[in-house]
Amino acid sequence: MSDERTIQQVLAKYVRGADRRDGAAVAELFTDDGKVEIFYSNSGNPEPMGEIVGPGPIATAVSQMMRPHPPGGWSHHTTHDPIIEVIGDRATLDAQFIVFSVQAKEKPEGGWPADALGVQGSVTPIESGYYRPILHRVGGGWKIQTLRIVMDMPIAFPRH
């Protein structure tokens, strides 16, 4: 498999791990000194919103700081139009993303009404922006050293 395709799969594994709230799976994609930097795009004037450093804190953030899915609910990250540049053992990726909230309707106790047809629930876009990881070749594979997430909208973080 080409470096470009392998790098694209690292991002695919990241978004699937985030959807599952599987912090351990996400943390494995990072180097030992890996970090996540979160920005609000702010009309082209990026505003830092937060930073998470190290696989342990990254795992905790995905598993415990991301909102749990409600019953019948799920998040679905999609990535689009990746631009990948490989220079030796370093690579950059720039991909657009959209996160959808998926919410199934609960099946009525007596079954669906006679006039019910098709999918029962909703899919709503809730986040968008860019994933811009910097990756390093480690042990023959690729790992994220820095993941820059540039959000199109600001984020409120929980207060402690």
- Position 113 scores a pLDDT of 87
Percentage of the chain beyond pLDDT 90 is 78
- Position 158 scores a pLDDT of 65
Domains of the chain: 3-106+119-151 (3.10.450.50)
48: nearest Cα among 158, 151, 134, 159: 151
- Position 96 scores a pLDDT of 98
Question: Model pTM?
Answer: 0.91
> pLDDT by residue (tens digit) across 90-113?
999 999 999 999 999 998 898 888
